Amino acid sequence: MDKSTREEIGKEVIKRLKEKFGEALIANLKEEEALSLDIIVRAFSNIIFDEREQLIKLGSKTQSRAFFNVGQTRVFMQTLLVANACKSLIESGKTTSIRSLYYSTKHNIGNTKENTFEEQGESNPIIEDIEVNINALREELHLRANSKGAMVGNLTIIDSGDEIDLRKMGSGGWAVPSIVEPHTIQFKKCDAKFVLFIEKDTVWGRFNEDKFWKKHNCIIVHGGGQPPRGVRRVVKRMHEELKLPIYVLVDNDPWGFYIYSVVKQGSMKLAYESARMAVPDAKFIGLSSYDQEKYTLPDEVTIKLNDGDKKRIKELLNYKWFQKKEWRKELESMLKKGVKLELEALSSKNIAFITDTYLPEKIERKEWLS
């Protein structure tokens, strides 16, 4: 994406900011109405599961945020303060972290000792409100989140103008940034046939050291546990733009299963971004609740479910996106056996079992869940 296209995106986002947080209030004043903003509700009560698109989405419920309401005055002020800071960022052509934005908007109000923000926990939700209400990615507001995750494989990319061959990234891989939009990251030469998303960086390290991506012509990526926005977005882009299948490899526990669902359907926290981050076609390739018996893993490598695990499994069983027969069998089997398995448990066969046998067999036999 060239500079002019990036500038056009910036102009469009600024236009939406002005319409939502400027012109709407000017209209209130002209009509002699109380100053207020209609803000889309970001709560579980406003989250829906779109059966047709297989995505977790945010509904259309709104709530008023009024200047003359004593309980809302502070957050009303904070909303306009952050919106204006984002507008200034875009106009400057610079990006910053959400932490830096918090400090740049924190100051005393007038001659009082009252601060605009007391902690970052107040400003972060405001950023999310703005994203939702002007339908823009945080990255389009020129804001960066913490970077986490790495990638290697048969792909060449352009990162901020620099050509990077992901086949030559050593043991650490290419660190996936939080901003991976086309104006920053472009895909160039791709020879890969699929993308393997791996939950843990330690397991990803096994796949990288064993050159799994080279032997099986793919791209391997991890998110360091729950994948951050940048990783989810780049996986989505590789699926859509490069037409690559996405396989997901996670622990056999409720937390691993939920990570898969986040990659596939989106998360409740970021329901408003599911369409731009989730991959409904993503395939779950392991670790299955039936793999202990199938691969004769010893009981010694299992871990007993604790009360938190059992509670989480029951929560997953109530989610609409876990109602398929195959998924209920997985979760109910885990609950019945009372144990969970980490990916590293496969090392009890041998260190390279997961890369030499387990994954290649599953892919060849198409043993996955969707």
Positions marked catalytic: 103
Phi, psi torsion values for 142, nearest 5 degrees: 70, 30
Whole-number Å distance between alpha carbons of 234 and 221: 10
Whole-number Å distance between alpha carbons of 262 and 279: 9
Give how far Cα 22 sits from Cα of 71, 83, 133, Å. Answer: 21, 10, 13
Q: Is 156:165 a contact under the CB 8 Å cutoff?
A: yes
Burial of 83 (C-beta count, 10 Å sphere; 0-12/13-18/19+): buried
Whole-number Å distance between alpha carbons of 35 and 66: 6
Residue from 60, 39, 38, 63 nearest 48 by CA: 60
Please state, as a whole number, how many other Cβ atoms lie within 10 Å of the Cβ of residue 113.
7
Give how far Cα 176 sits from Cα of 69, 188, 227, Å. Answer: 43, 16, 11
- Exposure of 355 in the CB half-sphere (CA atoms within 13 A): 19
The angle at the Cα of 71, spanning 68 to 77, to the nearest 5 degrees, equals 65
